[in-house]
Amino acid sequence: MLKKQTNRIKRHKKVRAKIKGTADIPRLCVFRSASHIYAQLIDDEKGKTLASTSDMEIKKGDKISRAGEVGKEIAKRGQEKKIEKVVFDRGGYKYHGRVKALSESARKGGLKF
């Protein structure tokens, strides 16, 4: 288990070396735990989180449908702050399942990657 987590952190560091979020184009960062999924819009220049959401409030549905709801919610909160364009940071996770559902629903919600 520990090896799996350290490998994910290594992959995440490689991704983070290449992408940076700004105030105009923040970074959409995803964290996936065993039971929940979290998303944040981050301005890396100032080191501030502009918006965040998780599936803690959503009680119905399976994990993938809750991840889709998180994607819609982060898109809505981004548009409230006049954010249309983001860079996607999958956090070292594979782009499938919950991470894919979150990103696709964020795109449908109006964010451009």
- Domain assignment present for 91: yes
**Residue 18: CATH number of its domain:** 3.30.420.100
- Domain assignment present for 57: yes
Confidence of residue 58 (pLDDT cuts 50, 70, 90): confident
- Domain assignment present for 113: no
- Helix H, strand E, coil C: the string for 2-15 is HHHHHHHHHHHHHH
Residue range of the domain that includes 93: 2-108
Task: State the pLDDT at residue 14.
Answer: 93
- Domain assignment present for 6: yes
- Global pTM reads 0.91
- Domain assignment present for 18: yes
Number of domains forming the structure of the chain: 1
- Domain assignment present for 53: yes
18: Cα separation from own chain's centroid: 16
Structural contact between residues 64 and 98, judged by C-beta atoms closer than 8 angstroms: yes
